[in-house]
Amino acid sequence: MDAMTSRLLYDGIQPEAAVVHLVLKDGTELNPLQNRESVLLDVIIPFHDAMRTLPALVDSLRKTDRTRCRILFVDDASSDSGAPFIESSGFDILKLDVNAGPAAARNRGLAATNAPFVLFADSDIVIKSPDAFQLILTTFAQNPAVTSIATISEPLPENSGFLSAYTALSEYIIFDRVIRGRTFVDPWPELSTRFGAFTRASIEAVNGFDESIPVASVEDADLFYKLMDRGFHGVLLNSLKIGHNWPTRWTRLIRAWITRARIWSRMFRKRKQFDEIFITRREATSRFLDCLAALLLAFSIPFHIVLWIFIPIEIIALTLKTGMFVTFRRFHGIGMALGALFTSQLNSVALGVGILLGTLDEMFGKSSA
């Protein structure tokens, strides 16, 4: 399989990080500015050391209708066997010489393609709707005002384990609450590049992803806020079925919670407003009460009288989680529901730590976590 090396120039990017090797399944070279009118949708999938989940994703891609679509994997300088696997699978691959992060990988994939519509997908998903790409194209064709299309993951994870089940259903509960009462034409107040599509014009209008943000979910939020501020219109295509492999290790998940909150908190203070998904007033209240209850519980060990303040605070915090408890019990049983309550409070404490660190970053003039 032939390869080519091309140097692409980006504002604010180190030159060595912009060197890429482009390998096409048919062995031909691809000019990033080449006009490929037959392709309407470029599907860009960045990955880094993702061999554990790539086979399931590739298998699901093979089952999709890819008419007038092109799949481009972007290898963010992986050290495992992921890149050779993708090459052998027959899909196009763009190889980065330097590990530049998910935002940079997406931007480079965007620069190497030119279809009018772009779909970004994560390497740990499974596409369960064979007509997914055609539904995306049809939605754009029938709704000219729509500039982005969001999807949500299924409530049950692709991988097993308590943490994966907790994370999958927790996110689904949040989205399900927002979906109720909405119609398709209502603007959807969130987007995710886990499996999300855009018009190329809209994403280029906001200069793509901010590569100074090291966390993928926060990059997505930043991109959404920029698109929203420019008046672009996004919708949710809830009919698509997207499976997802979620984290299964406590240390990795807690570290992700803290890092995400650390960066997101600074973004929130800059905007000075809540949104309809993750930073609602109700959610903020619930998280605050969780942190307060944890703090009071710690102080009640040396000062037992504090326990009498902790108890009513904890009751209020648990009351706000009644809906979550009922949903977890319906999907996974009473044991999982009780575990979810504890994990949710641990999540709140981790987010509180992240917010504190984000505040300290601002106080001492740090721009990144």
Tell me how far apart the alpha carbons of residues 19 and 250 are, in angstroms, rounded to a whole number.
36
Mean pLDDT for all residues in the chain: 83
Render 76-108 in DSSP notation, one character per residue: -S-SSSHHHHHHHHT-EEEEESS---HHHHHHH
Tell me how far apart the alpha carbons of residues 228 and 233 are, in angstroms, rounded to a whole number.
7
Sequential pLDDT tens for the chain (369 residues):
222 222 222 222 232 333 333 444 444 444 433 444 589 999 999 999 999 999 999 999 999 999 999 999 999 999 999 999 999 999 999 999 999 999 999 999 999 999 999 999 999 999 999 999 999 999 999 998 999 999 989 999 999 999 999 999 998 988 887 777 666 656 777 778 899 999 999 999 999 999 988 878 788 888 888 888 888 888 888 888 899 999 999 999 999 999 988 888 877 777 766 666 666 677 778 888 999 988 888 888 788 888 888 889 889 988 988 989 999 999 999 999 999 999 999 999 999 999 899 888 888 876 544
Tell me how far apart the alpha carbons of residues 49 and 184 are, in angstroms, rounded to a whole number.
37
Closest to 258 (Cα-Cα) out of 168, 357, 342, 165: 357
Tell me how far apart the alpha carbons of residues 61 and 128 are, in angstroms, rounded to a whole number.
9
Condensed to tens digits (0 to 9), the pLDDT of residues 159-202 reads 999 999 999 999 898 888 777 766 665 677 777 889 999 999 99
Tell me how far apart the alpha carbons of residues 107 and 221 are, in angstroms, rounded to a whole number.
16
- Let me know the angle formed at the C-alpha of 344 by 342 and 350, rounded to the nearest 5 degrees: 105
Tell me how far apart the alpha carbons of residues 252 and 275 are, in angstroms, rounded to a whole number.
26
The model scores a pTM over 0.95? no
Condensed to tens digits (0 to 9), the pLDDT of residues 299-357 reads 887 888 888 888 898 899 889 889 899 999 999 999 999 999 999 999 999 999 998 99
